[in-house]
Structure 1
Amino acid sequence: MSSKDTPKYWFPAKRYGWGWGLPSAWQGWVVLLIYFVVVLGGIPFVHATSGTVVYVIYVFVLTAALIAICWLTGEAPRWRWGGDDA
């Protein structure tokens, strides 16, 4: 399979463990930057006005959205032991 046929993942799999590493495409970096801006931006708006419990729920929902984006645009998650296994 040539490199043209290989899909370009926004979030490649980590070498060790389960999940995704840092983004490998600019789109992934934009998603990650937006996530951090919205999480930190929620401190004065959500946390200050509604309290800690609502802010934790807010962060939980945003994190679930980030995981969904990683799942859809990243490599298939599975446990990896660090080899060159594909």
Structure 2
Amino acid sequence: MTEQKKYWFPAKRYGWGWGFPSCWQGWVVQAIYMAVVLALALSRYYEQNPLMFVVWVSIASLILTAICWLKGEPPRWRWGKDRQ
């Protein structure tokens, strides 16, 4: 019996990339990402050093993208329902 791999982030139906998380692990990753970005915004760090704010948000986004790449459905261009 073959066991199907459980993806944390399913592929979007239209376009390229991933959609909303499909399991609790994905939701935890998404919540941590949003908490980090919100904490940076509420700290008003962007007023003191806008470049470093962009750098930290970019780092957080790259980490999220890496997790989606590793734990998500393989990305490819999609346009609606797959024909098989």
TM-score w.r.t. structure 1 length?
Answer: 0.86
Percent identity between matched residues is 54
> Unaligned stretches of 5+ in structure 1?
none
The corresponding residue for 2:32 is: 34
- Alpha-carbon distance between aligned partners in 2 of 1:52 and 1:41, rounded to the nearest angstrom: 15
Q: In the alignment, which residue of structure 1 is the partner of 2:64? A: 66
Task: Output one character per residue of 1:49-70: Cα deviation in whole Å (capped at 9) or x when no partner.
Answer: x411110111011000000000
Cα offset, 1:85, TM superposition: 4.2
Cα deviation per residue 1:7-63 (whole Å; 9 max; x = unaligned)? 110000000100000000100000000000011101206435x41111011101100
- Counterpart of 1:56 (choices 54, 57, 60) is 54
Aligned residue for 2:81, secondary structure, equals coil
Cross-structure match for 1:12: 10
- Output the CA distance in 1 between the equivalents of 2:45 and 2:57: 10
Residue 62 and residue 85 in structure 1: after superposition, are their counterparts in 2 closer, same or farther (change >3 A)?
farther
Is 1:47 the equivalent of 2:46? yes
Cα distance change on mapping 1:85 and 1:30 into 2, 3 Å: farther
Runs of 5+ in structure 2 lacking a partner? none
Over the residues paired in the alignment, what is the CA RMSD in angstroms? Answer: 1.8
Pairs aligned (count): 83
